[in-house]
Structure 1
């Protein structure tokens, strides 16, 4: 079973009955029977409250998901109210802020979340790659051939989905929605880029610096003998 990443300490925890517990309260019952939940015989107001207790930092993440027909489309990160991970300070503050806001509203407004992910991407291209053009389309085009082709296609896809929230359709009768899971995929892509671009570069620079420092020390020791 896949693990769960704690939003407080970023540690990956296993999912089992010692770390995760779910309850199913409704208007009629404080905790609906699991069997009736699985058989769809639950009350229309039934929700699933899931607690993830991290063994590393001992903090609990709480999520609420609609189960009954009245609330079946509802999902919410109750505590913390965002799925945002904590990223290092060497990633520019504005990029981190846009990312955190995209996470905070992913269920309330997937379109707005996608737009913020789009803005995150543009901020990273301008900061990390030092590419600044008239539009994100031109900036992503400039990356063509500099990054793997599949990643380039994903970035262009993020741009297009972000455009749905950022720009109104010419035909105002056409309504194109983005659901929370689609907006979450864009957030995961932003997280991947932060790791591959910023964190990997930082760790690589630290490793190279340590090796060069060690080499200089050993050379000095050798000359001193």
Structure 2
């Protein structure tokens, strides 16, 4: 059986062949018989309750490590050990302050989902201010200022993220009212932030790069016509 995993370091898509993976014992190295690293090693340590996995990326030659709950106590739970978050590698044309908020939101998504949601809200505000050049005193006003630039559904979700982020940023008027955010809910907010990275920054960059190349090709052909090349 073959599937793919996405490298947590470089973002490369790597094929995994489960028919040729290696089950390792404690102290084993990530090596094949020929001394080459495999694309995936299974079970460095395995018990009734937990299995430790690692995935080797041939593109960047880094190994990610994570644990998966197997028994009744930890069933369905996953812990990222190295790297220690679900954050994706992002291009350097996205402002570093926005990336820092995103990475931190990813790191604490299971430890403190409410705080992670607050950081996602902060990340959203930074993106709107940078990408759309909108700067107002309140995020609600900044979202309203881009109503003509995003579709209605996206605008509604932007407000939803803002309100969910407010749960961690501002106490309720009734201090006895406790509203929690679950880790899977905070992860969904992170997925939406990643969607905005793709739709706003990455697609814009790819579009500019494509247009620049087309212009360069056309200019080169014109130079050839004029006999300058």
Structure 1 length as normaliser, TM-score?
Answer: 0.82
Stretches of structure 2 that go unaligned for 5 or more consecutive residues are: 22-38
Compute the RMSD of aligned alpha carbons: 2.3
In the alignment of these two chains, the number of paired residues is 208
Counterpart residue number, 2:9: 8
Mapping for residues 109-188 of structure 1, pairs under 5 Å: 109-188=112-191
**Following the alignment from structure 1 to structure 2, what is the Cα–Cα distance between the partners of residues 179 and 20?**
31
Could you tell me whether the CA contact under 8 Å between 1:117 and 1:186 is conserved in 2?
yes
C-alpha deviation, 1:168, in angstroms = 0.9
Task: Give 3-state SS (helix, strand or coil) of 1:86's partner.
Answer: coil
Could you tell me whether the CA contact under 8 Å between 1:24 and 1:47 is conserved in 2?
no
Structure 2 length as normaliser, TM-score?
Answer: 0.81
C-alpha deviation, 1:16, in angstroms = 4.3
Could you tell me whether the CA contact under 8 Å between 2:3 and 2:17 is conserved in 1?
no
Q: Does 1:57 align with 2:60?
A: yes
**Following the alignment from structure 1 to structure 2, what is the Cα–Cα distance between the partners of residues 2 and 102?**
28
Task: Give 3-state SS (helix, strand or coil) of 1:82's partner.
Answer: coil
Change (3 A) 1:157 1:48: farther
**Following the alignment from structure 1 to structure 2, what is the Cα–Cα distance between the partners of residues 13 and 179?**
31
**Following the alignment from structure 2 to structure 1, what is the Cα–Cα distance between the partners of residues 177 and 50?**
33
C-alpha deviation, 1:124, in angstroms = 0.5
In terms of fraction of residues, the more helix-rich structure is: 1
Stretches of structure 1 that go unaligned for 5 or more consecutive residues are: 26-30, 33-41
C-alpha deviation, 1:52, in angstroms = 2.8
**Following the alignment from structure 2 to structure 1, what is the Cα–Cα distance between the partners of residues 181 and 55?**
28
Could you tell me whether the CA contact under 8 Å between 1:75 and 1:107 is conserved in 2?
no
Mapping for residues 17-56 of structure 1, pairs under 5 Å: 17=18, 18=21, 19-20=39-40, 23=43, 31-32=46-47, 42=48, 46-56=49-59
**Following the alignment from structure 1 to structure 2, what is the Cα–Cα distance between the partners of residues 202 and 75?**
34
